[in-house]
Amino acid sequence: MPMSLALSLVAVVQVASLSADAQLTYHERGGRDLIGVDRLQYAELAATKPETLTKVPDGLASPLYGTLAVPGAKGRTYHVILDEPEEGPSRIYVDLNGDGDLTNDEATTWEAKVRKRGEEELRDYQGGAMLTFGSLGGTGSTVFRGNVILYRYDRKDPRREAMKSKLAYQRDYVFKGSFSLGETTYDAMLEDSVLSGDFRGTEGKTAEGKCTVRLLLDVNQNGKFDRRGESFPVTEPFNIGGKVWELTGIAEDGTGIRAIASSKSANEVLPPPDLRPGKPVLAFDAKDMDGKEIHFPGDYKGKVVLLDFWATWCGPCMAEMPNVSKAYETFHGKGFEILAVTLDREKAEDKIRDTTAKMNMPWPQIYDGGYWEAKIGRDYGIYSIPQAFLVDGDTGLVIATGKDVRGEKLSETIEKALEGKTKRAMR
């Protein structure tokens, strides 16, 4: 997404000035629109009120309790109450200042999103909570606020059974601007991708111990940020154009960041191929889970094929899969195929086979147990799932990706692609 995108509610952190390397402005909200839905987190909801929650609003009908995980928020617990009565709208309360009192906070936005599934009307909710990070007393140079986007899927939706006891959430705050390395200046962002509450990168690490605070640089200057080759953990050296850099001077609130030439070693990782519609897809050879050789896209001459990246552990993938299965049933006899790449961890073969049988997924599955480092996923620069590419098997060109191959739009896109292929064949 171009860096000229305007953002509302800009808030510049009032602390020491940034170095000459970085011209970054802090935005309390807008990160999701710039970066996309990435690394959703989930708060487990339960009917038992935790002891650390000292005061709750009056008039709760059917409350569920949970917390938003913020590893860097020492001394704070961000409690959440989701009140879902049998009749009437859902309500949400968030302990924005993390003091255990849910009666002294600003109201949290919370709006219903109605969607149809056949004759059934489902009601999801989405909102935003402006959390305060930093010292518990609310003073000091490292205090800053940042918006967190909240998602709640209709608990009556049988296709989202796994989300029935969960509240999904994602960071929305971000630094945006430019960053200079030597003589070159790049469009840049600094993101706290898993809501650690501390831009130094010492908190909120992945299960594999990797830093989740990242500097994003538009290395190939194509107006967007790719996770491969353009996303750099702030605690690790990185290589661009054969020169190694490391970051220093980062404060808890993200200010003060600068780059210095490093004597450490780091392999250069190039950005992924340009896979926008009209561009050639990245060809590969692999074996599916049944041992069959697959040559993509060469094996799909005369077809329109959906290359679908997913995993059994991915809630949004599972929610989307009935829609993908329905599209397969509708269009498979008309020249539509699916080839799936699963980003499951090691030793997940049985779980994958059970899931594909249960969810009516008869198409080939490629699996190497690499998780986010799965070879094909890494080659394609996949950093969030579900993600898919609709491809013309004759030309090898991408027909559509993104929102055009998800939800209700998927069938419309497939139908249009097949019609176009038929017309071209008749000429």
Interval 57-103: pLDDT, tens = 999 999 999 999 998 877 789 999 999 998 889 999 999 989 999 99
**What's the whole-model pTM score?**
0.67
How far does CA 253 lie from the centroid of its chain? 22
Q: What whole-number distance in Å separates Cα of residue 321 and Cα of residue 159?
A: 9
pLDDT exceeds cutoff 70 at 137: no
Q: What whole-number distance in Å separates Cα of residue 278 and Cα of residue 188?
A: 27
pLDDT tier at 16, thresholds 50, 70, 90: very low
Tens digit of each residue's pLDDT (9 = 90 or more) over 177-223? 999 998 899 999 999 999 999 999 998 888 788 899 999 999 988 78
Higher pLDDT, 52 or 117: 52
pLDDT tier at 5, thresholds 50, 70, 90: very low
One-letter amino acid identity for 243?
A: K
The predicted structure's pLDDT at residue 172: 95
The predicted structure's pLDDT at residue 34: 86
Structural domains in the chain, CATH included, are: 29-171 (no CATH), 284-426 (3.40.30.10)
The predicted structure's pLDDT at residue 135: 63
pLDDT exceeds cutoff 80 at 139: no
Whether cis (ω within 30° of 0) applies to the bond prior to 386 is: yes
How many residues can be counted in the chain? 427
pLDDT exceeds cutoff 90 at 391: yes
pLDDT (mean) for 33-57? 89
In Å, how far are 240, 250, 336, 356 from 309, measured between CA atoms? 28, 35, 17, 14
Q: Where are the alpha helices (DSSP H) in 207-314?
A: none
pLDDT exceeds cutoff 60 at 380: yes
pLDDT exceeds cutoff 80 at 3: no
The predicted structure's pLDDT at residue 150: 96
pLDDT exceeds cutoff 60 at 12: no
